[in-house]
Amino acid sequence: MNNLIKFPKGSIKKVSGQCIVLRGDDIDTDRIIPARFLKCVNFDNLGDQVFADDRKERKGTHPFDVDINQGSSILIVNKNFGCGSSREHAPQALLRWGIKLIIGESFAEIFYGNCLSIGIPCARMSELNISKLQKEVEQGPQENYEFDITSKILRSKSQSWNTLMEKGASEILISGEWDATSLLISQKSKIKSIAKQIPYLNYFEFDID
Amino acid sequence: MWELHSVKKLQGDSTQLFIGLHLVHEVTSPQAFAALEEKNLNVLYPELTYATVDHIVPTINQKRPFLDPLAEEMLMTLEKNCIRHKIKLFNINSGNQGIVHVIAPETGLTQPGMTVVCGDSHTSTHGAFGAIAFGIGTSQVRDVLASQSLAINKLKVRRIWVEGALAQGVFAKDLILHVIRELGVKSGVGYAYEFAGPAIAKLSMEERMTICNMAIEAGARCGYINPDETTYTYLKGREYSPKGDDWEKAISWWRTLASNKDAVFDDEVIFDASQISPTITWGITPGQGIGIDESIPKKECLHPNDQQIADEAYCYMNLKPGQPIKGLPIDVCFIGSCTNGRLSDLQAAAKIAKNKKVAKGIKAFVVPGSERVANAAKKEGLDDVFKNAGFEWREPGCSMCLAMNPDRLEGNQISASSSNRNFKGRQGSAQGRTLLMSPAMVAAAAITGHVTDVRKMI
């Protein structure tokens, strides 16, 4: 685990670092961070607890325990990563371990949104390319990769990989609006006027079209 | 409904959506309140947020301070945040405490046409009322507290049309487990699942909640069912339901909400309820379900995409391909959760348990979904039915659905559970094994000590 975590802030245009491969479909948020570690009022200690049960079961051979992967920041996964519970503790735990970018075949929706809202980009690649990339990383785990949010290309010294990322996601990462609170609050007057039009907040007065 | 709540079009496909009802609990809210304070922000509409405590509450001794200091700290933090921000808290012994997805509907807070969010994936439950309801993460909880709105992409809609009717001994839980088995746990990503058709129309509100609750287990962030007379009858007279003149006006508005007969859906699938048998999961995802008369599927019979997770499941569950599920011995029986912790669930289980005894060596317990459910059940004497049969009768909470309180599996115990997730380690032991099924099926397993076809016990 990284002792000094640099939390994402403002505009995110590039992410670079070593890749770490975690194979398997449907890796759920209970596995990423088991529920007993949710008994906390802050996220501070979650980095040590990420994949706690899987790591214990694999006695030091889990990718997050292997020496060569320490300090990695780009997580490569398969299908439906992060399914299950809405716990933001899952991406928070990954972030605190050192993950800054996730590339996979597909992501569960709430997990994907949670990642975006804390500044972890999630990009998609085909099954075939993920499989090729996973092999490349396993053969040269110390290779440095750089991901460019604008072009959505992941580059190593020898290779480049196209990824998919929805337009809205890349735009807010680049503009810094992934940290949405101030953007949302800036619409306060519009929010208040909507609240005055919604029937269930206004004694069910409504216009029939 | 979406347009009515749209504040602003944001970048990409995203919309700033106004939220009509925000529910919070002790697990996913403390960091959100802390972030508000860090940014020196207030809660914009405290009257549109309601809080309860459910995940960490012990179900045996609820005396404060809780024996678990971490659980106590979480509740104290919630209490402090609710006082400070003037948010209504349904605390223990208030008469309204319970699992967030049980109490909001039963108090009449959840209504058709609303946008409902909560830092909890099973918020899809509230879609059973014709609301747009979905789970959010803690950063979004912060955003909703601060702005009563959040940024979200509009979802595509897949209509799940269910013909026919459920046979006797087959429940809403079996229907949704069957749907997830057929469509898979990734099928709903990017979709809201709208359930409709004759079989759905016949379901009670509690059954509809079970269906929408588990839409998320198919990957769909929202479940949805059009409001109808069943919905209005359920809501009438509840604490937060519209009253007097407002009631009639509310019904006229709610009637305008249902999707049109000629509405076009992004996708549609059709099921026949009469073909569904009691369904039960054998593996480590809610999609790994089979009918009670079937055997653990052989790898070669599965779709190539499902084979790797099946291998993992055979190994983790210690089950062999080809082995029948019926007769599999059980260690623990759990009746409760936001999926199946409501009065009708306890009634269905009590019918099976009545005048019978829990099999030797089985630990069986019932956790009502809320204080209201517990009181209503006691009024009918269901607590005695369960206790006389050898079940433990507990206080309300999430309990062993996710085992954040003292209720948990030990070692590689195997549970028959009326909850919603059978993930590895979900019920509190890293080797613990979960079989998901209807509450009546759990009761049947408790009586016989093994997986049993509840239809034979009716």
The predicted-structure confidence for B20-49, as pLDDT tens digits, reads as follows 999 999 999 999 999 999 999 999 999 999
Q: Are B300 and B448 in a shared domain?
A: yes
Do B92 and B53 meet the contact criterion of CB atoms below 8 Å apart? Answer: yes
- From B1, which residue of chain A is nearest by alpha-carbon distance? A198
Residue A107, pLDDT score: 97
Q: Are B23 and B142 in a shared domain?
A: yes
Distance CA B302, CA B310 (A): 8
Q: Are B255 and B109 in a shared domain?
A: no
> Could you read off the pLDDT of B54-81 as tens digits, one per residue?
999 999 999 999 999 999 999 999 999 9
B246 close to A (CB below 8 A):
yes
**Quick one: average pLDDT of B305-334?**
97
**Quick one: average pLDDT of B447-457?**
98
Q: Are B15 and B143 in a shared domain?
A: yes
Residue A6, pLDDT score: 80
For residue B70, give the nearest of A39, A108, A180 by CB distance: A39
Give the pLDDT band (50/70/90) at residue B258. Answer: confident
Q: Are B166 and B115 in a shared domain?
A: no
Which residues does chain A have within 8 Å of residue B45's beta carbon, measured at their own beta carbons? 195
Q: What percent of chain B has pLDDT over 70?
A: 100
Which residues does chain B have within 8 Å of residue A131's beta carbon, measured at their own beta carbons? none
Last residue of a domain, one of B108, B123, B153: B153
> Among A119, A17, A138, which Cα is nearest to A72's?
A17
Q: Are B269 and B287 in a shared domain?
A: no
For residue A35, give the nearest of B138, B186, B403 by CB distance: B403
Q: Are B349 and B433 in a shared domain?
A: yes
Distance CA A51, CA A38 (A): 13
- From A176, which residue of chain B is nearest by alpha-carbon distance? B11
Distance CA A100, CA A73 (A): 5
Domain at B44, CATH number: 3.30.499.10
Amino acid at A199: P
Residue B287, pLDDT score: 97
Smallest Cα distance from A123 to chain B, Å: 15
Do B183 and B290 meet the contact criterion of CB atoms below 8 Å apart? Answer: no
Cis peptide, bond prior to residue B69, ω within 30 of zero: no
Residue A2, pLDDT score: 47
Q: Are B314 and B219 in a shared domain?
A: no
Phi-psi region of B297 (alpha: psi -120 to 50; beta: other; left: phi over 0): beta
Please judge whether B189 and A80 are an interchain contact, meaning their C-beta atoms are less than 8 angstroms apart: yes
Pairing of strands B279-281, B289-291: antiparallel
Last residue of a domain, one of B90, B125, B153: B153
Q: What is the pLDDT along chain A (209 residues), one digit of tens a residue?
A: 445 678 999 999 999 999 999 999 999 999 999 999 999 999 999 999 999 999 999 999 999 999 999 999 999 999 999 999 999 999 999 999 999 999 999 999 999 999 999 999 999 999 999 999 999 999 999 999 999 999 999 999 989 999 999 988 999 999 999 999 999 999 999 999 999 999 999 999 877 55
Smallest Cα distance from A53 to chain B, Å: 6
| Burial label, B14 (beta-carbon count in 10 A; 0-12, 13-18, 19+) | buried
For residue A83, give the nearest of B71, B120, B219 by CB distance: B219
Q: Residue B385's domain spans which residues? A: 279-457
Smallest Cα distance from A157 to chain B, Å: 32
Q: Where are the domains of chain A?
A: 14-177
Last residue of a domain, one of B249, B275, B301: B275
Interface mutation target, options A181, A182, A186, chain B, most CBs of B under 10 Å: A181
> Could you read off the pLDDT of A145-167 as tens digits, one per residue?
999 999 999 999 989 999 999 98
Give the pLDDT band (50/70/90) at residue B284. Answer: very high
Q: Are B324 and B354 in a shared domain?
A: yes
What was the ipTM of the complex prediction? 0.94
Pairing of strands B267-272, B49-52: unpaired
Residue B263, pLDDT score: 84
Q: Are B182 and B131 in a shared domain?
A: no
Domain at B261, CATH number: 3.40.1060.10
Q: Are B329 and B342 in a shared domain?
A: yes
Structural domain total, chain B = 3
Find residues 251-280 of chain B whose CB sits inside 8 Å of chain A: 252-253, 256
> Could you read off the pLDDT of B405-445 as tens digits, one per residue?
999 999 999 999 999 999 999 999 999 999 999 999 999 99
CA-angle at B177, arms to B403 and A35, nearest 5°: 20
| Burial label, A57 (beta-carbon count in 10 A; 0-12, 13-18, 19+) | middle
Average pLDDT, chain B: 97
For residue A88, give the nearest of B14, B28, B219 by CB distance: B28
Find residues 291-320 of chain B whose CB sits inside 8 Å of chain A: 305, 308-309, 312
Q: Are B171 and B247 in a shared domain?
A: yes
Question: CATH topology for A14-177?
Answer: Aconitase; domain 4 (3.20.19)
